[in-house]
């Protein structure tokens, strides 16, 4: 997700409100240049058509990216009935049409079938790899290929607004790897028609929400200034859902040196008792982050040391 380059040591999370028309890579590049950051990554790609929450990790925050990527995400999006496109959104060519338009009650009745652990085939224009190549590259070349179905988690799928016969607005909370374009496409099929996404906005990623986000325009207006640095959230913000384990100064030093720390002496600690073998913990000492660690057989072993 991140890469080493010359630049400043800047640590933290920036929650960008990505505008429509910009790729995630382009957005990350503009943030990297603004902060002159040595290391940067992001917490989940957004299509150019999509806007909304794009968490960008700088410096040591890149070590916490997997915990953001694996978190739940929520989206609000518009679906147009009666037309299927090559990309499953409004950027593609129309490849099929239908005169059928679903009624509001039909939509409501179909939604429960898309909640839970479901099988989903990604869009042909997606970043899924096929024999080492991205599906969207193969699709642009009009190559013949198929994408395999895979299981994804949809926690909620709500009809927000029925706009009439041609369009409706939905909101979804889902797990890692869920394609909203595929949900819209498959919902259209279930309703006896075809469909595609016309607008898409990400509202949250893991513990980061729309209310945390700053627009690219506002951020760039701050330039290279202390005010821009004030937009950064602490590295540990990404670890809000992970149990916190406080260490002594000596224990923290051992963990930072890559050594395991025994928790046997803490047998009376409720926190340690509650940990199962293989549990991930966020260790701190004197209020400062130390490492992401794994608890096993009465000790914690560092997984990623945070140099803060």
Q: What is the mean pLDDT of residues 57-84?
A: 96
For residue 2, being part of any structural domain is answered with: no
**pLDDT at site 133:** 77
Percentage with pLDDT > 90 across the chain: 73
Q: Are residues 229 and 251 in the same domain?
A: no
Q: Can you tell me the mean pLDDT for 77-82?
A: 98
Decide which of 205, 227, 262 is a domain's last residue: 205
The domain total for the chain is 3
In this structure, are 122 and 189 located in the same domain? Answer: yes
In a domain, 6, yes or no: no
Whether residues 169 and 249 share a domain: the answer is no
Pairing of strands 116-120, 214-215: unpaired
Beta strands (DSSP E) in 109-263 are 116-120, 129-130, 133-134, 150-162, 167-174, 195-205, 208-209, 214-215, 244-246, 261-262
Domain CATH for 299: 2.30.130.10
The confidence band for 6, taking pLDDT boundaries of 50, 70 and 90, is confident
Q: Are 291 and 272 in contact (CB under 8 A)?
A: no
Cα separation, 276 vs 12, whole angstroms: 29
Q: Are residues 67 and 17 in the same domain?
A: yes
Whether 7 is in a domain gets the answer no
Q: What secondary structure letter does DSSP report for 37? A: B
Catalytic residue check, 166: no
Q: Which residue has the higher pLDDT, 177 or 271?
A: 177
* Beta-carbon count within 10 A of 284 CB: 18
* pLDDT above 60: residue 144: yes
Is residue 69 a contact partner of residue 178, using CB atoms and an 8 Å limit? no
* In a shared domain, residues 110 and 155: yes
- pLDDT given at position 23: 92
pLDDT of residue 273: 66
The pLDDT score that the predictor gives to residue 80 is 98
Q: Which band of pLDDT confidence, cut at 50, 70 and 90, is reported for residue 271?
A: low
Q: What is the pLDDT of residue 134?
A: 79
DSSP class of residue 180 equals H
Nearest to 43 by CA among 82, 13, 20, 75: 13
Indicate whether 233 and 292 sit together in one domain: no
Q: Are residues 180 and 231 in the same domain?
A: no
Between 265 and 89, name the one with better pLDDT: 89
**Domain presence at residue 133:** yes
Residues 180 and 111 in one domain: yes
Which of the residues 17, 36, 47, 241 is marked catalytic? 47
**In the predicted model, is pLDDT for residue 269 greater than 60?**
no
Q: How far apart are CA 290 and CA 101, in angstroms?
A: 56
DSSP 99: -
Tell me, yes or no, whether 3 lies in a domain.
no
pLDDT tens digits, one per residue of 34-48: 999 999 999 988 989
H or E element, residue 255: helix 249-256
123-127 contact pairs (CB < 8 A, 24+):
123/87, 123/88, 123/179, 123/181, 123/182, 123/185, 124/86, 124/87, 125/86, 125/87, 125/88, 125/92, 126/179, 127/45
- Domain contains 4: no
Does one domain contain both 94 and 171?
yes
Region 76-85: mean pLDDT is 98
- Evaluate whether residue 157 is within a structural domain: yes
For 229-246, write each residue's pLDDT tens digit: 999 999 999 998 888 888
What's the CATH code of the domain at 40?
Answer: 3.30.2350.10
pLDDT of residue 268: 46
Per-residue pLDDT tens for 223-233? 888 999 999 99
- Report pLDDT for 213: 97
Residues 86 and 177 placed together within one structural domain of the fold: yes
Is residue 175, in this structure, part of any structural domain at all? Answer: yes
- Cβ-contact 29, 19 below 8 angstroms: no
Can you give the pLDDT at residue 128?
72
Domain that holds residue 281: 242-305
For residues 286-295, average pLDDT:
93
pLDDT at 138 over 80: no
Q: How much is the pTM?
A: 0.89
pLDDT digits (tens, 9 = 90+) for 173-182: 999 999 999 9
Instruction: Judge if 256 and 286 occupy the same domain.
Output: yes
Burial class, 279, CB count within 10 angstroms (exposed 0-12 / middle 13-18 / buried 19+): middle
What φ, ψ does residue 259 adopt, rounded to 5°? -100, 150
Could you report the per-residue pLDDT of 182-207, keeping only the tens digit for each? 999 999 999 999 999 999 999 999 99
| Per-residue pLDDT at 262 | 87
Cα 213 from Cα 52, distance rounded (Å): 8
String of b and e for 65-101 (b: at least 16 CB within 10 Å)? bebbbebbbbbbbbbbbbbbbbbbbbebeeeeebeee
Average pLDDT score, the chain: 90
Instruction: Kindly state whether residues 224 and 249 are assigned to the same domain.
Output: no
């Amino acid at each position: 997700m991140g890469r080493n380059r010359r630049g400043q040591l800047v640590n933290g999370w920036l929650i960008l409100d990505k505008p429509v028309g910009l790729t995630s890579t382009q957005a990350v590049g503009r943030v990297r240049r603004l902060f002159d950051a040595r290391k940067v990554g992001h917490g989940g790609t957004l299509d150019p058509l999509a806007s909304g929450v794009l968490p960008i990790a700088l410096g040591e925050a890149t070590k916490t990216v997997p915990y953001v990527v694996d978190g739940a995400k929520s989206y609000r999006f518009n679906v147009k009935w009666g037309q299927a496109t090559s990309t499953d959104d409004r950027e593609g060519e129309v490849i099929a049409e239908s005169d059928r338009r679903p009624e509001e009650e039909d939509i409501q009745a179909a939604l429960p079938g898309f909640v839970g652990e479901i099988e989903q085939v990604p869009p042909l224009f997606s970043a899924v790899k096929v024999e080492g190549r991205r599906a969207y590259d193969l699709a642009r070349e009009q190559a013949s290929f198929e994408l395999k179905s895979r299981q994804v988690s949809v926690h909620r799928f709500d009809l927000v607004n029925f706009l009439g016969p041609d369009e409706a607005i939905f909101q979804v909370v889902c797990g890692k790897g869920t394609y909203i374009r595929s949900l819209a496409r498959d919902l259209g099929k279930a309703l006896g028609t075809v469909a595609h996404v016309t607008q898409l906005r990400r509202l949250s990623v893991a513990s980061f929400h729309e209310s945390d986000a700053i627009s690219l325009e506002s951020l760039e207006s701050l330039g290279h200034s202390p005010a821009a640095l004030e937009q950064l959230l602490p590295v540990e913000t990404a670890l809000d859902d992970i149990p916190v384990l406080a260490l002594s100064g000596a224990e923290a030093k051992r963990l930072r040196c890559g050594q395991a720390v025994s928790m046997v002496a803490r047998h009376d600690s409720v926190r340690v008792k509650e940990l199962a073998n293989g549990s991930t913990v966020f260790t701190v000492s004197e209020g400062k982050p130390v490492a992401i660690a794994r608890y096993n057989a009465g000790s914690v072993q560092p997984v990623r040391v945070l140099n803060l």
